[in-house]
């Protein structure tokens, strides 16, 4: 590493955001260290292209947010200028099945990282991946940095602990630590069991005859969806300010799951019309007359977040950040990518 080169450690580098952030930082000339977990199957498909193109600017290191000694060792050895803590069990629905594990990785994992920084005695700038799930049952709309939290899942509770412990280390130890309260952000790299990607991938499979139906849970939920590639820039901007602070990152627009299915369907050549209600609701493609969407209790959560809509005015004023990609553009680009990937399989 050249002496004047800035360095960053990313936990969660193999995930959706980690891969876009790595591209972004490498483009800015950073040396990037990525924390990777051991897994039985190689799971680096999102960053393989970067490993190939920029081997001198990217180094992957084995570690885990549940393993303090690995975090201490990595910080001591690489002393990064910036740390982006993106690693998490990030699926809200699954957090109801594995609440203790989710809390350990997301909540205590963040504490382990903060405390490793303190123990090693370095002063990096830290970004904490906080979430709009903190708002849960919302008390005002749109949600801002001052809106009250009401977490509705083990995932959201674990992120609440991480949010507050990040603030505490900022106040107690003068650490430059920021919470980015990011609303849902998606991309063609989104894991297949989040609703946007599940919809685009399933519709692409239905179109190509690999699948009959798309089975969903709550169609009424409303989310403020942005593009992950736009959002990683905001993470970096937070760490380039003079003072550490917390910021909402959102589009300010909200849509139902039903609208998501309609727009993705349109981009795929379907015209979806709805019949019935609740768990009996179905979506029919009026072009073919086939039922292509059904609902199932399997995907209904024990407690749901019905509505999210963020106000990122503070990010606009201080970071000069605003989203560049609309919901329709995002859905279309995800739909086109899944259609293209399936055609390449043929
Ligand atoms: P993602 O695609 O699920 O990626 C999660 C990453 O965390 C993966 O690289 C995963 O590694 C890693 N990880 C999981 N457990 C770990 C552990 N014990 N130790 C170290 N790393 C671990 O998530 P994402 O969508 O990129 O989100 C990034 C972060 O932002 C997460 O913290 C998420 O909770 C938060 N967030 C996301 C959104 C959103 O809409 N995407 C919104 C707000 C906040 P493997 O590849 O090995 O599983
Ligand atoms: O796509 P989702 O699983 O995302 P969710 O729960 O909003 O969480 C995502 O965004 C958070 C930010 O607000 C992040 F912190 C978190 O890490 C993650 O990235 O579900 C969105 C909505 C929910 O209301 C869910 O009940 O879609 C509804 N939904 C309906 N049918 C479904 C399905 N969700 C999934 N995953 N699968 C379904 O079949």
- pTM for the model stands at 0.98
Is 195:202 a contact under the CB 8 Å cutoff? no
What pLDDT was estimated at residue 343? 76
| Residue in the structure block whose two tokens are 């952000």 | 185
Supply the pLDDT for residue 338.
Answer: 98
Read off the tokens for 81: 């200028």
Residue from 86, 93, 98, 196 whose mutation best tests the ligand 1 pocket (most atoms within 8 A of CB): 86
pLDDT band at 1 (very low <50, low <70, confident <90, very high): low
Which numbered ligand comes closest to the C-alpha of 223? 2
CB 9 within 8 A of CB 82: yes
pLDDT score for 4: 81
User: Any idea of the CA torsion for 284, 258, 278, 190, to the nearest 10 degrees?
Assistant: 110
Q: What is the mean pLDDT of residues 130-135?
A: 98
- Report pLDDT digits (tens) over 261-317: 999 999 999 999 999 999 999 999 999 999 999 999 999 999 999 999 999 999 999
Residues 122-151 have a mean pLDDT of: 98
pLDDT for residue 120: 98
Backbone φ/ψ region at 150: left (φ over 0), alpha (ψ -120 to 50), beta: beta
φ, ψ (nearest 5 deg) of residue 34: -115, 125
Rounded CA separation 134/305 (Å): 10
pLDDT score of 346 more than 60: no
Q: What is the pLDDT of residues 30-69, one digit of tens each?
A: 999 999 999 999 899 999 999 999 999 999 999 999 999 9
Find out whether the beta carbon of 105 lies less than 6 Å from any atom of ligand 1.
yes
Cα 289 to ligand 1 centroid, rounded to whole Å: 39
Q: Whose CA is nearest to atom 45 of ligand 1?
A: 14
**CA-proximal residue: ligand 1, atom 3 (nearest):** 90
Q: What is the distance between the alpha carbons of residues 31 and 137, in angstroms, rounded to a whole number?
A: 40
What integer pLDDT is reported at residue 342 of this predicted model? 87
Return the H-helix or E-strand segment holding 7: strand 7-11
pLDDT at 345 over 60: no
In terms of Cβ atoms closer than 10 Å to its own Cβ (0-12, 13-18, 19+), residue 208 is middle
85 lines ligand 1 (CB under 6 A): no
CA of 116 to the centre of ligand 2 (A): 32
Mean pLDDT score of the chain? 97
Ligand closest in space to the Cα of 249: 1
Q: pLDDT band at residue 133, thresholds of 50, 70 and 90?
A: very high
Closest ligand to residue 213's CA: 2
């Amino acid at each position: 590493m050249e002496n004047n080169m800035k360095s960053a450690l990313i936990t969660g580098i193999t995930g959706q955001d980690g891969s876009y952030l790595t591209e972004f930082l490498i483009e800015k000339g950073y040396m990037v260290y990525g924390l990777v977990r051991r897994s039985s199957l190689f799971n680096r498909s999102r960053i393989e292209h970067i490993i190939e193109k920029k081997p001198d600017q990217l180094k992957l290191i084995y570690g885990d947010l549940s393993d303090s000694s690995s975090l201490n060792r990595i910080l001591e050895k690489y002393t990064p200028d910036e740390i982006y803590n993106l690693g998490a069990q990030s699926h809200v629905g699954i957090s109801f099945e594995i609440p203790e594990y989710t809390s350990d990785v997301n909540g205590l994992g963040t504490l382990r990282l903060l405390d490793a920084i303190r123990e090693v005695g370095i002063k990096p700038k830290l970004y904490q991946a906080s979430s709009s799930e903190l708002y849960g049952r919302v008390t005002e709309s749109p949600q801002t940095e001052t809106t009250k939290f009401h977490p509705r899942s083990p995932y959201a509770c674990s992120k609440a602990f991480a949010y507050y412990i990040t603030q505490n280390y900022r106040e107690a130890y003068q650490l430059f630590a920021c919470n980015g309260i990011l609303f849902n952000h998606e991309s063609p790299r989104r894991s297949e069991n989040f609703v946007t990607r599940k919809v685009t991938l399933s519709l692409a499979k239905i179109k190509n005859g690999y699948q009959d139906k798309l089975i969903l849970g709550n169609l009424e939920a409303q989310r403020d969806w942005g593009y992950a590639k736009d959002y990683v820039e905001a993470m970096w901007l937070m760490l380039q300010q003079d003072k550490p602070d917390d910021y909402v990152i959102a589009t300010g627009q909200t849509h139902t799951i039903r609208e998501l299915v309609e727009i993705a369907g349109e981009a795929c050549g379907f015209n979806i019309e709805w019949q019935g209600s609740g768990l009996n609701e179905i979506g029919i493609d009026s072009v073919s007359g086939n039922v292509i969407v059904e609902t199932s209790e399997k995907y209904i959560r024990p407690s749901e977040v019905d509505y999210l809509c963020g106000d990122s005015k503070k990010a606009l004023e201080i970071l000069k950040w605003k989203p560049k990609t609309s919901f329709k553009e995002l859905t279309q680009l995800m739909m086109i990518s899944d259609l293209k990937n399936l055609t390449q399989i043929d």
